[in-house]
Amino acid sequence: MFNPKGHKVPCVGLSIGVERIFSILEQRMKTFGEKIRTTETQVFVATPQKNFLRERLKLIAELWDAGIKAELLYKNNPKLLTQLHYCENMGIPLVVIIGEQELKEGVIKLRSVASREEVAIKRENLVAEIQKRLFES
């Protein structure tokens, strides 16, 4: 048919039900109460204080340099509750919280969105701790 000389051309065909696969995955996630992740972001950088955009940008650059997928809201004065709700809605597993008190003490708060457990970690150990938690999950 495609060869003008009438030679037979061998071929192979394949079909998979992509739509069915996604339907099954969505149903399983709903059954077990798991949130469907809508982003690849692993860590969200948040702050409870106003005018901390510069510090958040420094921190997110450090995470990006370590190969961690991170994001933040680019508003200058976002509310902490708004930032935490964003993480829950998007399925982001970890939140890094930086504020005045944390800067003074040289620590960063690391919060698990699912369990709402929060721990203070020294700034220099933050990347290693995040990588450890992401590897475990």
Could you give all domains of the chain from N- to C-terminal order, each with its CATH number?
43-136 (3.40.50.800)
The dihedral over CA atoms of 80, 86, 92, 93, expressed in degrees to the nearest 10, equals: 40
**Band (83; pLDDT cuts 50, 70, 90):** very high
Question: What's the pLDDT score for residue 14?
Answer: 78
Q: Which residues share a beta bridge with 122?
A: 107
Give residue-wise pLDDT tens across range 107-123: 999 999 989 999 999 99
8 Å CB contact between 105 and 53: no
Q: What is the pTM of this model?
A: 0.74
